[in-house]
Amino acid sequence: MSAHMTEENLSQLKEQVYKDPRPPEHFDRFHQRSRTTDPNWEYEAVRIATTLFAWTFFRTRGFFAEKVPARGPVILAPNHSSFMDHFFLGTSIRRKVRFMAKSQLFKPPMEWIYSPGGVFPVRRGFADEEAFITARSILDRGGVIAMYSEGGRSRTGKLSDTVRPGIGRLALQSGATVVPIAIHGSSKVRNWKRLRFPKVTVLYGDPIRWDVVPDPTRDQQQAVANEIFAEVRKLYAQLEAMGRSGVKAARRSELRRA
């Protein structure tokens, strides 16, 4: 555990509620909307507001965002340390990014923003097949899905030691391009309450793609998930070692060679 996460810090974190007592049928309307309808004006309104907030207060900058394909199905695969990661992820790309969000968030008034904005629920603590069907339908229409290999948000400020197989399953079943991404600095976003705003950097990696496997085994799913997160680890380590200035220099060097 990192030094800045003491037992006292952990005790102050809200306990996670993993199982939603509402029946799966309660969420059918949200899935149906996501499977058939693109995000509306609310997506752009939220994107503009959160991007300005991220740029101004967290000095968020993205590097190599051009590695995200301009069209076709894409799975964005970042690490996950903060509730703000969804917004940091999209500040440097123009494509509309669709997210899974834990079903507990789908209550008034937030569901009136989430669903029209293209977010769809996943019932954490359950084998939620409906969430995968929705994700595949979005990819089948050439959309962009963001999915965290770690499953939930890291509570320690460090990258998780293990990853969930779900992203491997989605990559294999869809054949979509996967872009590994490192979000650095977001683990300290909670410090905004003390008027401390960490600098957040988003580093986009090289796209990867696997041949379609309609019914991958658990081992196949896990192997692909591990491979994806191994790339995320490399990107994160690069930011740890080089910092933002080093990444900027690498980008300038790459542009000169192009």
Q: What is the pLDDT of residue 5?
A: 45
Q: Distances in Å between the alpha carbon of 131 and those of 2, 60, 84, 137?
A: 33, 30, 21, 10
What is the helix (H) or strand (E) element at residue 47, kind and residue range?
helix 41-57
| For residues 135-157, average pLDDT | 89
Q: What is the pLDDT of residue 11?
A: 39
Q: Could you tell me if residue 8 is inside a domain? A: no
Q: Could you tell me if residue 31 is inside a domain? A: yes
Cis check for the bond before 216: say yes or no (omega within 30 of 0).
no
Question: Is the whole-model pTM more than 0.85?
Answer: yes
Instruction: Tell me the per-residue pLDDT of 110-141, one tens digit each, with 9 for 90 and over.
Output: 899 899 999 999 997 788 999 999 999 999 99
Tell me which residue range forms the domain holding 209: 22-257
Q: Could you tell me if residue 172 is inside a domain? A: yes
Q: Distances in Å between the alpha carbon of 187 and those of 76, 82, 191, 199, 237?
A: 19, 6, 9, 10, 15
Instruction: Report the domain count for the chain.
Output: 1
Q: Could you tell me if residue 79 is inside a domain? A: yes
Q: Could you tell me if residue 12 is inside a domain? A: no
Residue 237 contacts residue 98 (beta carbons within 8 Å): no
The rounded distance, in Å, linking the Cα atoms of 231 and 228 is 5
